[in-house]
């Protein structure tokens, strides 16, 4: 998944980026509302984590404007803990609200919950041929044996599993796996696709190379 984090506290922002990156998510970090607007203009995101008090304005007003323009899920991060603050923020269109300081495990759980609610309904465990894939735990089960997937291999399989039958270009896959400022070539996608092909070979799942266009997963 690709996240946009809008947080001016550098230490907290880097900690959040590091934690979400460990799960294989691509995270772009904006430290001001102006930077956030620039990121939103050039990239598509699955979720935005939005601080309220920012150097160049109020995140709540930014949330209001964002809500009128698109349906991007938003979790607000703030030190404000009054019930009235939570109610006002949710009424503005936030999908969830997390009060600082927070536990990173809770942040990850809330991200998963919001994405489940706002995304296309799918089973928690996705059948892939003779295998079963659980994106939340990163477990691929086949012939009674479970294999733990990590980081970008996990997220790449999730992208393919949720878009079976669709052609995904290398640039699209790079966007889902890496932040914008990462210096990564399309060869990295070839490496991860090769690993997934080997893992899924006995499950009857194919990741087909569509020449000049990208890749397409198909499973019986």
Percent of the chain with pLDDT over 70: 95
71, two tokens: 């349906």
The residue whose two tokens read 């270009």 is 169
Q: How many residues does the chain have?
A: 220
201 three-state secondary structure:
helix
In order of 36, 37, 44, 65, the CA distances from 172 in angstroms are 20, 21, 10, 27
pTM for this predicted structure: 0.67
For residue 168, the surrounding DSSP H or E stretch is strand 167-168
Beta strands in 53-125 (DSSP E): 53-54, 57-58, 74-78, 96-99
Interval 67-118: pLDDT, tens: 755 678 999 998 877 777 778 888 888 899 898 889 998 998 889 888 877 6
Q: For residue 122, name the pLDDT band (cuts at 50, 70, 90).
A: low
Residue 13 has pLDDT above 70, yes or no: yes
Distance CA 157, CA 148 (A): 12
Which CATH superfamily is 2-118 part of? Response regulator (3.40.50.2300)
ω into 40 cis (within 30 of 0):
no
Domain spans of the chain, in order of start:
2-118, 126-218
Interhelix angle 59-69/83-91, nearest 10 degrees: 30
Rg of the chain's alpha carbons, rounded to an integer? 18
What does the pLDDT read at residue 145?
Answer: 85
pLDDT mean across residues, the chain: 86
Residue 120 has pLDDT above 60, yes or no: no
- In this structure, is the dihedral angle defined by the CA atoms of residues 119, 209, 211 and 24, taken in order, positive or negative? positive
User: Quick check: 28 and 13 in contact, CB under 8 A?
Assistant: no
User: Quick check: 210 and 216 in contact, CB under 8 A?
Assistant: yes
The total of other beta-carbon atoms located within 10 Å of residue 145's CB is 8
What does the pLDDT read at residue 171?
Answer: 86
Q: Phi, psi at residue 156, to the nearest 5°?
A: -65, -45
Distance CA 208, CA 146 (A): 24
Give the right CATH number for 126-218 from 1.10.1040.50, 3.40.50.720, 3.80.10.10, 1.10.10.10.
1.10.10.10
2-118 and 126-218 agree in CATH topology: no
What does the pLDDT read at residue 193?
Answer: 93
Interval 157-171: pLDDT, tens: 888 988 888 999 998
Smallest CA-to-CA distance from 51 within 78, 29, 27 is with 78
């Amino acid at each position: 998944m690709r996240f946009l984090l809008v947080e001016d506290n550098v230490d907290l922002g880097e900690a959040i980026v590091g934690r979400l990156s460990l799960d294989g998510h691509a995270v772009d970090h904006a430290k001001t509302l102006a930077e956030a607007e620039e990121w939103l203009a050039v990239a598509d995101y699955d979720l935005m984590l939005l601080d309220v008090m920012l150097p160049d304005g109020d995140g709540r007003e930014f949330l209001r404007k964002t809500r009128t323009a698109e349906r991007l899920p938003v979790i607000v991060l703030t030190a404000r803990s009054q019930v009235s603050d939570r109610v006002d923020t949710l009424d503005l269109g936030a999908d969830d609200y997390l009060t600082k300081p927070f536990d990173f495990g809770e942040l990850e759980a809330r991200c998963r919950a919001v994405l489940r609610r706002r995304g296309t309904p799918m089973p928690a465990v996705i059948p892939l041929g003779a295998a079963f894939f659980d994106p939340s735990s990163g477990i691929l089960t086949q012939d009674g044996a479970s294999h733990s997937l990590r980081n970008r291999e996990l997220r790449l399989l999730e992208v393919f599993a949720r878009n079976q039958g669709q052609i995904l270009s290398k640039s699209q896959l790079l966007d889902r796996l890496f932040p914008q400022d990462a210096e990564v070539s399309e060869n990295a996608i070839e490496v991860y696709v090769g690993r997934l092909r080997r893992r899924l070979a006995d499950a009857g799942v194919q990741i087909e190379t569509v020449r000049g266009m990208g890749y397409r997963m198909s499973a019986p």
